[in-house]
Chain A
Amino acid sequence: QKEVEQDPGPLSVPEGAIVSLNCTYSNSAFQYFMWYRQYSRKGPELLMYTYSSGNKEDGRFTAQVDKSSKYISLFIRDSQPSDSATYLCALTRNTGNQFYFGTGTSLTVIP
């Protein structure tokens, strides 16, 4: 069983839509959960970081963690064409430890 599972998509939505991106994981030792955005042939850019179950909001982005279900989500409200990218979830057991990445979900927001 893979450490982190993420639907690769591709996902295509109209501008203004709410986007839901998800990852599941198998190891309950993961305590920290990150979402990165990656444009083609660029490095991952940190979007959100959380370590507890519940919701964390930052502008149009909301990160949600459900540790009991081992399920994390990223919601994008009022999606924009500039949000078109690959979104990666990344998990880690403890501070300083390696990140385990999902495969990434490719998102296209159509104007």
Chain B
Amino acid sequence: EPEVTQTPSHQVTQMGQEVILRCVPISNHLYFYWYRQILGQKVEFLVSFYNNEISEKSEIFDDQFSVERPDGSNFTLKIRSTKLEDSAMYFCASKPAGAYNEQFFGPGTRLTVL
């Protein structure tokens, strides 16, 4: 069964450093998302991406964040200058075209900012 994959599974970085989190969505999906989950808290929406552009973003997704689909398979989230409060699990999700509304989530990348 096709699934969303994410790399790395765990990323440790120093405050102020740039990180890139990578995702490979399910191949025939057209909508892509990033969510984050701070330990013990709810899953929070960051951004959605469709037709090579951001379609929706939350207040969390400020100028420090950017997304890119550099080729036909990868979807990346970049954090330019990490802060301690960026430490969280970051989930990528994808959704097929059409009326279906199920988003399928990857296993997540645990980001630890020291």
- A contact set with B: CB distance below 8 Å: 32, 34, 36, 41-46, 49, 51, 88, 90, 92, 95-104
Contact = CB atoms under 8 A, between A and B. Distances in A.
Contacts of B45: 98-100
Contacts of A42: 107-108
Nearest to B98: A95
B54 to A, nearest CB: 12
Given A43-B91, A96-B50, A98-B45, A51 B101 contact: yes
A100 to B, nearest CB: 7
Contacts of B107: 42-43
A63 to B, nearest CB: 13
B114 interface: no
A46 B102 contact: yes
B101 A49 contact: yes
B33 interface: yes
A103 B104 CA distance: 18
A92 B31 CA distance: 14
B103 to A, nearest CB: 6
Interface residues of B, number: 29
A45 B105 CA distance: 7
Nearest to A49: B102
Contact of A96 (B35, B48, B105, B110): B48
B48 A44 contact: no
A62 B88 CA distance: 32
Given A42-B107, A44-B105, A45-B105, A95 B43 contact: no
A41 B89 contact: yes
B42 A98 contact: no
B101 A88 contact: no
B102 A101 contact: no
B55 interface: yes
Given A36-B105, A43-B4, A99-B103, 4 more contacts: A43-B107, A44-B43, A46-B104, A102-B42
Q: Which 4 A-B pairs have the closest CB atoms?
A: A98-B45, A43-B105, A101-B43, A32-B101
